[in-house]
Structure 1
Amino acid sequence: MQVAKKIILILLLPLVLIGGINYLIDPDYTLRKDYIPTLVEALSNGKMVGGPMNINSRVLKKQWIDKLPFKPEVMVLGSSRTLGLSEEAFPGKTFFNASVTNCTFQDMYAFLNLFVKKQERLPETIIVCADQWLFGNAFVEKRWLNNRVDFVEMLQKTSDLSGRQFPSKWELQKEWIKELFSVRYLVRSLRQRGKTETFQICNSIADNKMMFLPSGVRLLPKDVVNASEDEMKQRATNYFYSSGDEHFNELSVLQCQLFEDFVNHLKTQKCEVILYIPPYHPDTYRLMRQSPKCKGVFMVDDYLLRIAKNYQLKVAGATNPNKLNLSAADFYDGVHLKPEVLEDIFKENQ
């Protein structure tokens, strides 16, 4: 019996030590959520938040929507490609940007459900960012499971799809447990101990920090957005070689149904829908055009334009940057436009 206890202690103590260090330091803000309510309270009261790039943005936006002190007339549902879109593109309108990094259609359903429960009505105008990878089968994102309950609630209102067709929250919990006891994360935690950047509540924009504004907009540090032309081009090339999200050759039936059911619901609720088709950096676009792995990306435009016509949606953007007269200088990497360029695209559609 004593031997069994010793064996158990030998096995458990390292896990407890690794998990404890990782949880307490948590340099990438992936394990803990206790910091979020303070940020939400500040943002809801008109303050700004500055800090590190990593944040559990789905939990942040969920709690933020619940405390939102106004009823937005314009709402953005999208990924990091729309996180920089601000109210400047919609003068005279109350505005909230509900975008999150690596947004999925499930995220959009969940946030729509949260808005209905909080606001009792939907915004007059909703921008839907149709990232090309959302229509293939190569893109995998599990963090939407943070808000799975709200996704399923909205799915039941809008579609004949069943929640059983989608992963359970346990899939996300498994990822959390892996990170908690990860030796790789332990090494990062120890290296970052005492150096991890903290979130700060601010009254003005700090150019050298990631910033969240009370409108839901995220600003990136100036040195990220305004890097040299050579650096921008290198990022665009690196994106093509490092990302497999665009590696699909046909559209996913399930993903297309999720999208179409979502758009149909918005139209039945009398919302004006602006469909945003985000462009690629010219170099990234050229490399994808040359790759047989990315054929599906170029089917997305035709599909979206057909859906826009069927549902009478406004369309902003295009996969091909040449259609929008965009140059390499308009991007800060392979898939993200500079904020002022993004705003101009929407101003042109007013």
Structure 2
Amino acid sequence: MSMQSSSAPLNLLSGDPTAATQPARRRSAWRLGALFVGVAALVFGSIGTVNYRYNPLTYDGDQQQAVAATLAGGGNVAIADPNIDWRTLRSKHLSQMKETPDVILFGGSRWQEASAAVAPNKRFYNAFVTNDFFEDIVALTGQLYTTGHLPKTLILSVRFFSFDYLDRHDQLWWTLTSPEYKQMSERLGIPAHSWTDSVPVSQYSHLLSADSALKSLQRGSVEEAGWRPTTAVSDPQMNIIGSDGALRFSEAHLKTLTPEGVEKDALETAAQHRTARIHIKRELVGQLGTLIGFLKKQGVQVVLVQTPFHPAYFKAIQGTPYYDDIRQVEADTRSVAAASGALVGGGFDSLALGCTAADYRDFNHASDHCLTQVLRSIPGLN
């Protein structure tokens, strides 16, 4: 019996020699996994913190609210970097706006410099955002309607990519106002993109971007990346957002823009676009007409307008399918305007609208002078 009792433990160990080490290995694997998760959380947390603090007008709702309150109170705001979340800022500004402007202009950054000078003797607001699409027009209309700020005149910019397909959109920005877009689409009775296509995933991936964090650190201190109220309309180093919504670039930035450099950008961009095509989703053209019909019922005069290109760019793309696509967008815009009773103006040819190469920052961003020329050429607008 003594031999049997002493052999049982020996048989157990010899039958499975790894049994005693398996719990230790599992504990080691768990520790390694926890260490990996901890390091990853620390790295991404640090990246997110840098991006959040250095980009307060992209990620910090309280800071956006404070800027909107300053603008709504009639003040201007100085900012270091104009690459901010303009959509959220517009939404917060509209919700605090005390008076409804007579004229509201909406478009992409091509309109960023259009100031109150385009509509003298009228209350004017420039609601431009970055990289606009048709969905943004729908979202803004919804915001104006729900906040009670539909103006007497609403100028809507139709750009060459306005009617593009969803898979060609820059996901980083347009989805930020997807709730307003979906709500207004339902009000208009037009189909909206699915929930999965409308989630602002790119905003969170951008927040955790190491490249973005590095660029933020290189720009300077957190204080320099922030904003401040101001009464000035220009600044040597800071960009100014006016209470009219327009952007005034810093003197330092404007000094970097030479005529030679701007024309080089125009020609290089034209070379890229000569082999490209614009894909127009025909349904969106009809939906624009539906939206205009809704606005007309609310007593709003709608103006459809396009901004012209740098003359060197416009000349360089002629004779290409891309040029034909641009002309098709222009023709579609005029067709929608004629059918819906909207005013129409502008165009892609700068020389026909009185703009010159001296008016441009790059191939398609014009100065306030040119934009004023474009709007003042629209019959019945002034």
- TM-score, scaled to structure 1: 0.89
Trace 1:76-155 onto structure 2 (pairs within 5 A). 76-119=105-148, 122-137=150-165, 139-142=168-171, 143-155=173-185
Change over 3 Å in CA distance of 1:61–1:163 after alignment to 2: same
Change over 3 Å in CA distance of 1:82–1:165 after alignment to 2: same
Structure-1 residue corresponding to 2:339: 310
Secondary structure of 1:201 counterpart: strand
- Give the one of 142, 159, 179 matched to 2:189: 159
Structure-1 residue corresponding to 2:226: 198
Q: Distance in 2 between matches of 1:235 and 1:330?
A: 14
Structure-2 residue corresponding to 1:257: 286
- Give the one of 359, 369, 376 matched to 1:340: 369
Secondary structure of 1:211 counterpart: strand
Change over 3 Å in CA distance of 1:152–1:329 after alignment to 2: same
Structure-1 residue corresponding to 2:306: 277
Q: Distance in 2 between matches of 1:178 and 1:270?
A: 41
Residue 67 of structure 1: how far off its partner (Å): 0.4
Give, as a single letter, the amino acid of the residue that structure 1 aligns with 2:174.
W
In the alignment, structure 1 segments of 5+ residues that lack a partner are none
Secondary structure of 1:233 counterpart: helix
Residue 59 of structure 1: how far off its partner (Å): 0.8
Give, as a single letter, the amino acid of the residue that structure 1 aligns with 2:67.
L
Structure 1 range deviating more: 184-193 or 107-116: 184-193
RMSD over aligned Cα, in angstroms? 2.6
In the alignment, does 2:202 pair up with 1:179?
Answer: no
Over the matched positions of the two proteins, sequence identity in percent amounts to 19
Residue 22 of structure 1: how far off its partner (Å): 2.0
In the alignment, does 2:295 pair up with 1:266?
Answer: yes
**1:160-215 deviations in Å (ceiling 9; x for gaps):** 3244388231xx22x23423433333433554463752212112123332211112
Larger Rg computed on CA atoms: 2
**1:207-242 deviations in Å (ceiling 9; x for gaps):** 332211112112222454563211221222243356
Give, as a single letter, the amino acid of the residue that structure 1 aligns with 2:376.
K
In the alignment, structure 2 segments of 5+ residues that lack a partner are 1-25
Structure-1 residue corresponding to 2:215: 188
Is contact 2:111–2:128 with CA below 8 Å preserved after alignment? yes
Is contact 1:18–1:182 with CA below 8 Å preserved after alignment? no
Q: How many equivalent residue pairs?
A: 345
Structure 1 range deviating more: 74-83 or 247-256: 247-256
Structure 1 range deviating more: 30-39 or 308-317: 30-39
Secondary structure of 1:279 counterpart: coil
Trace 1:179-258 onto structure 2 (pairs within 5 A). 179-192=206-219, 194=221, 197-208=225-236, 209-225=238-254, 227-241=257-271, 247-258=276-287
In the alignment, does 2:318 pair up with 1:289?
Answer: yes
Is contact 1:251–1:299 with CA below 8 Å preserved after alignment? no
Structure-2 residue corresponding to 1:326: 355
Select the structure with the greater relative contact order (CA < 8 A; seq sep ≥ 6).
1
Q: Distance in 2 between matches of 1:8 and 1:242?
A: 47
- Give the one of 300, 303, 312 matched to 2:329: 300
Structure-2 residue corresponding to 1:38: 66
